[in-house]
Amino acid sequence: MEIPAEAEPPLTGADDGLHFAYVRATNQVILTYNAADFLHLHNLLPNHPGILAVYQDNDPSKDMTYADIVRAIANLEDSTTIVTGGFWVLNAYQW
10, 4 in Cβ contact below 8 A? yes
Q: What is the pTM of this model?
A: 0.92
Return the percent helix, strand and coil in the chain, to nearest 5. Answer: 45, 10, 45
Burial of 1: CB neighbours in 10 Å, binned 0-12, 13-18, 19+:
exposed
Domain spans in the chain, listed from the N-terminal domain onward: 4-93
Q: How far apart are CA 69 and CA 34, in angstroms?
A: 14
> What pLDDT, in 10s, does the model give residues 9-47?
999 999 999 999 999 999 999 999 999 999 999 999 999
> What pLDDT, in 10s, does the model give residues 66-78?
999 999 999 999 9
